[in-house]
Structure 1
Amino acid sequence: MLAFVAAALFVIAFIIRVTETSTEMIFSPTSLMLAGLAFLALHSAGVGSGWSARRSSTRRSGSRR
């Protein structure tokens, strides 16, 4: 999910850059790119991946030692 947010920020930054749109300082292409990189780093770190810390501890009958 965070990768999709990062991709959307990269697209918005690219469109602003290509069209040379004058925007406020907080929405500059560089700041959007840095925000996208932050979301991509969070995605790579596993934040928001949807996995659960709780797992059932059932064992298969054939894997007992």
Structure 2
Amino acid sequence: MLGTAAAVLFFIAFLISAADIATNQAFSSGNVMLLGLTLLALHVAGIGAGWRPGRSRRR
């Protein structure tokens, strides 16, 4: 899920940069890209993943 959110943020950052849209400092292309990188790093680290080790049921 976090990987998908990162991809969406990268696409938004690309649109802001490519279309040269004037935004305030909080939503600049670089800041949106850094948020995407943060989400991508969390995804790679396993945060937000559906599978958790040690959670299997044995009968």
Q: Does TM-score exceed 0.5, indicating one fold?
A: yes
Unaligned runs of 5+ in 1: 59-65
Tell me the number of residue pairs that the alignment of Structure 1 and Structure 2 aligns: 58
> What's the TM-score once normalised by structure 1's chain length?
0.82
Identity over the aligned pairs, expressed in percent?
A: 47
Q: What's the CA shift for 1:55?
A: 1.3
1:56 counterpart residue number: 57
When normalised by structure 2's length, the TM-score is 0.90
Q: Does residue 1:24 correspond to 2:24, yes or no?
A: yes
CA drift of 1:2 comes to: 0.3
Which of 1 and 2 has greater Rg? 1
The runs of at least 4 aligned residues of structure 1 exceeding 3 Å deviation read none
| Alpha-carbon distance, 1:54 to partner | 1.8
Aligned mates of 1:57, 1:31 — CA distance in 2: 46
Secondary structure of 1:48 counterpart: coil
RMSD: 1.2
1:38 and 1:57 map into 2 onto residues whose CA distance is 36
* Distance (Å, rounded) in 2 between the aligned partners of 1:30 and 1:12: 11
Alignment partners' CA distance in 2, 1:57 and 1:46:
24
Helix, strand or coil for the counterpart of 1:20?
A: coil
